[in-house]
Amino acid sequence: MLSAAVILAALAVTLAWPVPILLSRARWTWRAPGIALVLWQSIALAGGLSMLGSLLTWGLIPFGDTLPDGITSLVSHAFGQPLPPGVGLEHVAALCGALYLGLHLTLNLAATTFRAERQRRRHHHLVELLSEPMPDRPGTRVLDHAAPVAYCLPGAVRSITVLSAGLLALLDADELRAVIAHERAHLRQQHHIVLLVFKSWHSALPWFPIANRAENAVALLVEMLADDQARRVVDDRTLARAIALVGTSGEERLPAPGERLAPDDNGQPFDLVTPRVRRLAGHSSPLPAALRAGILGSAVALLAVPTALLLIV
């Protein structure tokens, strides 16, 4: 198991530092945000699995030659049998680290999910009290507020799109159609779930700079995915104008009321407007099919490597 532990540790370091930095700086992601989002999720899952796997396999080395044997032996020794020879402080520390990290990530995800759901339920209640249904647009409500605001509010039973009176006064008919299509794309594609997972990762490891970078990069990608759905309704120029108007006149909120994006590397609020406007104005071509397939294959391979190592040791 020693070789597996070393390989998993090397993979964890690679996926925790250089790979996310390179991906967050890449501009091909703007041409294929869906593919890039799959790759980000693969990196996060494979990185977490590699970290846990490296600690576990290293800690179990004195207990057996394979992972199942090591786990079985560890359980038996936990109930009174003397520890096998060769068990050192480093092995105990590795096992404790694996247990702590696994529990910490799992409990943090559960707590983040609980808090987000509680905030959404409270927000649903407030919106019902303070807004009015928008005529001829089911599932859309209007807040009597001067600031231009548009966001979607997912729910277990019913999801709604919330617009402000200021937004309706600011945008023309086509721009409004673009904004509504954008927000409803968030709801259809369940972007709040993806954002929740990366928010949980950042919350669990706030000192980890890559978690911050990943959360911001994923937030921008889901906005671009929603933009791509809106482009089916209006032309790029109209959508870019709507994004710029809302983004410079008020706050275009993500589909997670009450939550904020982490600041960028310079400590400034992360910009979700300028890259999207530049993307729409640039008229970039889609990625070639062969390149898209290669990136998807890489995402699958990232998950397969740590999984295979843990299964065969």
Q: Answer yes or no: is pLDDT of 266 > 70.
A: no
Per residue in 173-183, pLDDT tens?
999 999 999 99
More confident residue, 269 or 121: 121
Q: What is the CA radius of gyration of the chain?
A: 23
How high is the pLDDT of residue 251?
45
Give the count of beta carbons closer than 10 Å to the beta carbon of residue 139: 15
How high is the pLDDT of residue 253?
41
Per residue in 50-80, pLDDT tens?
999 999 999 999 998 889 899 999 988 887 7
d(CA 224, CA 311): 37
Q: Of the given ranges (116-125, 208-217, 275-284, 299-308), which has the lowest mean pLDDT?
A: 208-217
Q: Answer yes or no: is pLDDT of 291 > 80.
A: yes
Provide the residue count of the chain: 313
How high is the pLDDT of residue 85?
86
Q: At 141, is the secondary structure helix, strand, or coil?
A: strand
Average pLDDT over residues 218-241: 97
Give me the amino acid identity at 269.
Answer: P
Q: For the chain, what is the mean pLDDT?
A: 90
Instruction: Output 169-178 pairs: Cβ under 8 A, ≥24 positions apart.
Output: 170/245, 170/246, 170/249, 171/242, 171/245, 171/246, 174/234, 174/238, 175/234, 175/238, 175/241, 175/242, 175/245, 176/242, 177/233, 177/234, 178/230, 178/233, 178/234, 178/238, 178/239, 178/242
Q: Answer yes or no: is pLDDT of 265 > 70.
A: no
d(CA 9, CA 19): 15
Per residue in 113-166, pLDDT tens?
999 999 999 999 999 999 999 998 999 999 999 999 999 999 878 899 999 999
How high is the pLDDT of residue 182?
97
Main-chain phi, psi angles of 54, to 5 degrees: -65, -40
